[in-house]
Structure 1
Amino acid sequence: MSLSYPGLAYHTDGNAGAPALLFLHGFLGNADDWQALKTLLKDDYYLIVIDLPGHGSSQWYEEDARGLDYFCHRLEQTVQTIEQVKGINLEKFNLLGYSLGGRLAMAYTVAFPNRIEKLFLEGAHPGLVSEQERNQRYQSDLQWARRFKLEPVAEVLHDWYKQPVFSDLDDHQIQSLIHERANGKGQLLAEALMAFSLSKQPDYRRALCRLKADCQLRAGSPPFTSVHYFYGENDHKFGQLGQHLLAEHVIHSTHPVAGCGHNIHREQPEAMARLLRELQRSP
């Protein structure tokens, strides 16, 4: 991984002559989470994987506590660094975010809409609507953050993966995830959880609707951002959310993937790679 302050740790791979695709992993993860998908897409895209703040090789700075706005600044600095170091034009690129990474991808797309050609969201929430929902989520995230600070990470993860969104995982899959994630630094995970809490995130529905309207109004002009939503067929929460977003004209398309739950790129990388190839070829 390459590092640059105030940017984020990154690694590039794939076909330098193909469209660029930048990946943002989920909470607790790192850039290696995308390895299976990267292997399948190395001929189709120029691949850029990022470690989120406090994850993998990316440092956590005091300013990161400012949340989404500062993350967007760090990611933009990273994109500019990659352009300079690799000599590649990233004036327009595709962005894929999973769960927390999808929420951060929405924030960056809204902040820098001219950068993004296609936004791919995997099981990501656009934002809570009511104050009651925000308060409930804040209290939940605060409880988890306290545990990550005070308890061994492996012990917290045993309970973390009991949450309903992970209900399709079997014991072997859960133990594998705990083994992979147990070396995370609890203090940094707690900081990231609160800084990027869904309770503090704006509701991006209206902003994404504007992007969709721009894309439709400017048909035939240089490409404007289109938004595509992936969810596992066993992930009922985000499946319903994706369908609501489509009905509300927030996104351009939904793509249910059979045989998996919340984490498509881990459980069904071949199916996800196929979708990403098809969508790249579409207008």
Structure 2
Amino acid sequence: MTMLNGLNYFVAQQGSGAPVWLLLHGFMGSHTDFAKIAPKLAGTVLMPDLLGHGATTSHAAAERYQIERQVADLASLLAKRQVKQVNLLGYSMGGRLALAFALSHPELVHCLILESSSPGLATETERQKRRQHDQILVERLQKNGLAQFVTEWTALPLFASQRKLPAATQQFIRQQRLQQNPAGLALSLQQMGTGSQPNYWPALANFELPVHLIVGAADAKFQATTEKMLARLPNASRTVISNAGHNVHLEQSAAYLATVNQFVQREGS
């Protein structure tokens, strides 16, 4: 365990040397999200379980889950490991955190890869509606328990393409979700859900770091979002990967890795 600003984080590490990667998982995930990816990335790969997820503590005050506080925790992690710069990759919730980190600490980021992610919601009306939606999810989780919550989450249209995955892979995903701490998930939804994070859309126009956006061809919602992001970011590219939905790195890991490696090689990392 690694102590970051007073909280115990679990940080998996794979490989050694340069470059250094920082991989951030999605909601109800952990460092094991990247089991297919990490061994095939050159250099050192750091994979923290984000606050309230995996083996990282869930016992923290609600405000510690806010995205700005988690950004500070990641900066503390890099300082402790004496890492000066990373290739930063985030998936879904982890992508929102990755973008927040890169906006706050551009000097620590060589390049940014965002998979199935967004800069948040543009209006307060949208954010309030999303917070209400997430609060309903929290209440279902607390009332019905984790197993039922996982079943309902798996059935969301966003993850429909995952039903084509091998049964063993689907079972792996379910077991990973069932190992989460319900209290941590609830606080994560409430404090760093899309409705609670700041609106980063206005910041995109002045964000000069190289960014690569990855999205699945079956994920219409995030295709539209990333198209808008591509139009606003001054130094961005995008790949739409066939036969994949929201979780591209799991559903099409070979194509995903090829895209990631091509991008970082182009950026000289």
State the TM-score, normalizing by the size of structure 2: 0.91
Partner of 2:251: 267
Q: Distance in 2 between matches of 1:248 and 1:23?
A: 24
177-186 vs 70-79, which moves further: 177-186
- Residues 53, 64 of structure 1: 8 Å contact kept: no
Two-structure CA RMSD over aligned residues (Å) = 1.8
Question: What is the aligned counterpart of 1:154 among 147, 152, 155?
Answer: 147
Shift of residue 248 of structure 1?
2.8
- Residues 231, 256 of structure 1: 8 Å contact kept: yes
Partner of 1:33: 33
The answer to whether residue 189 in structure 2 is matched with residue 193 in structure 1 is: yes
Aligned pairs for 1:21-60 (under 5 A) are 21-41=21-41, 44-60=42-58
Secondary structure class of the residue paired with 2:81: helix
Shift of residue 168 of structure 1?
1.7
How many residues align structurally?
261
Shift of residue 236 of structure 1?
0.9
Partner of 2:238: 254
Q: Distance in 1 between matches of 2:133 and 2:26?
A: 18
Partner of 1:216: none
Partner of 2:10: 9
| Cα 1:203–1:38 shift into 2, 3 Å | same
Aligned pairs for 1:1-283 (under 5 A) are 2-6=1-5, 8-16=9-17, 18-41=18-41, 44-60=42-58, 61-62=60-61, 64-65=63-64, 67-83=66-82, 90-170=83-163, 172=167, 174-212=170-208, 225-249=209-233, 252-283=236-267
Shift of residue 64 of structure 1?
4.4
- Residues 226, 251 of structure 1: 8 Å contact kept: yes
Unpaired segments ≥5 residues, structure 2:
none
Q: Distance in 2 between matches of 1:187 and 1:149?
A: 8
Secondary structure class of the residue paired with 2:260: helix
Secondary structure class of the residue paired with 1:234: coil
Shift of residue 175 of structure 1?
4.8
Q: Distance in 2 between matches of 1:188 and 1:119?
A: 27
